[in-house]
Amino acid sequence: MSDTLLPLLVALPLLGAVLAVAAGLASERAAAAVTTLVLAAQTGLAGWLGSQAVLDGPLSVGVGGFVAPYGIELVVDGLSAAVLVLVAVVSLAVLAFATEDAPGGTAFYAQYLLLVTGLSGMAVTGDVFNLYVFLEITGLATYALVASAGTGRSAVSALKYLLFGTVAASLYLLGVGYALMATGTLNMADLATELAAAGYDSPLVLASFGFIVVGLATKTALFPLHTWQPDAYADAPDSVSALIAALVSTVAAYALLRLIYTVYTPAFFEAVPVARDALVAFAAVSIVVGSVLAVTQSEIKRMLAYSSVSQYGLVVVGLAIGTPAAVFGAVVHLLGHAIMKGGLFVAAGAVADLTGARTVDEYAGLADRFPVLGGASAVLMLAMVGVPPAVGFAGKWYIALGAVRAGSWPVAVVIFASTLLTLAYFALLVERMFVAPASESVLAATDGGRDGDDDTDALGPSPPSASRPSRRALALVVGAAVVAIVLGVVVTDLGTALEPTIDTLLSP
Amino acid sequence: MSDRDSPTDATADSGRPDGADESQPDAVDGEGSVSRPADERPPYVESTIIMTTVRVIAPFVLTLGLFVMFHGASSAGGGFQGGVIAATTVVMLGFAFGIEPIASRLRNEHLALLVLSGVGTFLVVGLGGYLVGDNFLQVSEYETLFHHGSKYSIELVEVGIGVVVSGVITSLFFLLGTGIDAADAADPDTDSEEDR
């Protein structure tokens, strides 16, 4: 019954984008209100349908009554339910920060909702061509959001992202084309059987796998295909950085997981072991190089961006290893990374609004002046390093466990090394914040700033005007820290909930 | 890095001609301006030949656009192609009579409404599927409402697509041609709050 409501997960934010523009013709506040309402409704819908999918097994529907594999099928299983809920919740939460920090403007809210449309669509679709369409919707909305900072730098970054993103999506489409030539179908479930019939070692199937993986790896930002990502994250408005760092690459990595296990199935890796080895090596290099590049950064947002390159490497290693524990670890790390990185970008944005501090050195003494913000950021950083009981630890633990069980000792070593490197850059930052004497910008913010009442409705206070972080930003950072810890504690429950889905994915 | 501290200012600037608003200093020293000031744009040259030709063929082009748009459901044609052809009419008028006069007649709100009504049409047909049937975009169920219901509802979606495409192409053309008029200018109330 609730199956037929699946298209609403995509139609609702799309309708919201239309309503936001219409409301925006009246006033910008109306557009913000519409966006909030729509995202709240989307969160409710995603939560309800997601819980149905987890409790009663996968939901699926052929859009417009056209039966799969001829029509477009939408499918929600436990995994896509988790991603859907993540997208809805994070976009709603970041919106609270965006309304006070963001460039504003009606177009911004419309793009925001279109981004949610694309991301939700990528999560629910069961059709590889439809996935391409949503990949492009996501991409176009993201390019526009990155450019919405309105500076020359952000325009250049958005253009770079556009070039990379378009090439990546085209490579993906090329791979879909090869798969279509080999099988004559576009439905994911149908492709799984037809690809097996076509023979996994046929050149068409191998070429399609290669193109699809490279296309989606570019979207996920694995080294050396990551070069669009630090610029895009660093030059976007702070709220947009938080949103895209939390969601866009996450959903691309989800799509990679979905394609590898639903379309190509583990049997493909059995038949073509070199594909798995190449993917593991690719991701392992990404883990190490991403971390090393992060250590060398002095600007906070860039450091966080390179850290993402490394963390997505971990996720892809987990899903490439392909034991149940490793795939579960990859999913946990995917969700956990989204929460932690989103929270850290919000924190970076709040600090920049308060003090203008944007580099590691400028963060000196921050925790003395803003103990709650600094403390919550430190919790998120340590969670990212993998200190138990936070979710960062749980994800890495399961991935490493899966790697050891699969006998991939070098991968376990790489994961351990990456933890040390992650510690290197985050510990430096924590040391600056808590131990080092206060930097000039931090001092200026606390001594020279006027004592604002923190009117949370005010649009982005220009630095250094406020002496306290805005309540919303603070609530988001603290909330992200709490969620990161809670998710780590309840990870076994999450495992029980996702177990049937992962078993289905990994069954040959 | 000062440009990064105040993204709000810069956005507001990019949407207006340079120096149009004294209270908004160019926060990024030219770096953030994506529009061309009027004196740098190529001048409009009036040509009787072009104006006459455009006057004659414009109605035919628009008709062809609508013709292609209305043939999306059952024969060769479709909303994308038709919408582009229909938008060509505006582009031609722009070249013949100057972009600014045309853009001042077809303002941002009109184009926004065009795009909104197009996307809205699709959503109405899609969500209407829940009313007549039990699925999103279930066009086959419109057969119960009127003769050839599924064909005409798909046709309606195609027309909606055509309207979106023509609206978007027209606004992109104006945006490129004038640099300002079709841009999503920020509301005045946001500007006043961020004066420094």
Q: Residue ranges of the domains in chain A? A: 285-508
Q: Tell me the mean pLDDT in the region A255-280.
A: 91
Mean pLDDT (whole number) for B91-95: 90
Region A126-134: mean pLDDT is 94
Residues of chain A found within 8 Å of residue B137, distances taken between Cβ atoms: 7, 63-64
The whole-angstrom distance between residue B149's C-alpha and the CA centroid of its chain comes to 29
Residue A58 to residues A3, A50, A52, A76, A501, Cα–Cα distance (Å): 9, 9, 8, 6, 8
Q: Mean pLDDT, to the nearest integer, of A150-172?
A: 91
Q: Which of B11, B120, B193 sits opposite A103 (nearest CB)?
A: B11
pLDDT digits (tens, 9 = 90+) for B152-194: 888 888 999 999 999 999 988 988 887 653 344 433 333 323 3
Which of B114, B115, B123, B187 has the highest number of chain A CBs within 10 A, making it the mutation to test binding with A? B187
Residues A195, B117: Cα–Cα separation, whole Å: 42
In whole angstroms, give the CA distance from residue A406 to residue A404: 5
In the numeric block, which tokens belong to residue B194?
């961020």
Q: What is the pLDDT of residues A35-82, one digit of tens each?
A: 999 999 999 999 999 998 888 888 888 888 788 788 889 999 989 999
> Domain containing B76: what range?
38-183
Per-residue buried b or exposed e for B37-58, using 16+ beta carbons within 10 Å of the residue's own CB: eeeeeeeeeeeeeeeeebeeeb
Contacts of residue B112 in chain A, CB cutoff 8 Å?
21, 25
Domain count, chain B: 1
Contact A64 B138 (CB under 8 A): yes
pLDDT confidence of A24, banded at 50, 70, 90?
confident
Residue B175: what pLDDT? 84
Residue B41 to residue B39: CA distance in whole angstroms: 6
Q: What local confidence, expressed as pLDDT, does residue B12 receive?
A: 40
Residue A199, CA distances (Å) to A191, A193, A204, A258, A271 in order: 12, 10, 9, 20, 9
How confident is the model over A355-373, as pLDDT tens digits? 888 888 888 888 888 888 8
Structure confidence at residue A211 (pLDDT): 95
Residue B7 domain flag: no
pLDDT tens, position by position, B38-74? 666 667 778 889 999 999 999 999 999 999 998 877 7
pLDDT digits (tens, 9 = 90+) for A434-465: 887 777 766 766 654 444 444 434 444 444 44
For chain A, give the mean pLDDT. Answer: 87
Task: Give me the helix-helix angle, A106-124 and A8-26, nearest 10°.
Answer: 180
Q: Quote the tokens at residue A380.
A: 């998120």
Q: Flag whether the ipTM exceeds 0.90.
A: no
Q: Do A150 and B7 touch (CB under 8 A)?
A: yes
Q: Which residues on A lie below 8 Å from B116 (Cβ)? A: 18, 21-22
Q: Exposed, middle or buried, B29 (CB in 10 Å: 0-12/13-18/19+)? A: exposed
SS3 A260: helix
Q: Do B6 and A61 touch (CB under 8 A)?
A: no
Predicted pLDDT of residue A81: 93
Query: Tell me, what's the pLDDT at B194?
Result: 30
Q: Do A152 and B189 touch (CB under 8 A)?
A: no
Residue among A102, A151, A460 whose CB faces B28 most closely: A151
Cβ-contact A415, A399 below 8 angstroms: yes
Q: How far apart are CA A346 and CA A335, in angstroms?
A: 17
- How far is A156 from A118, CA to CA, in rounded Å? 23
B53 to chain A, any CB pair closer than 8 A? The answer is: no
Helix (H, G, I), strand (E, B) or coil at A127: strand
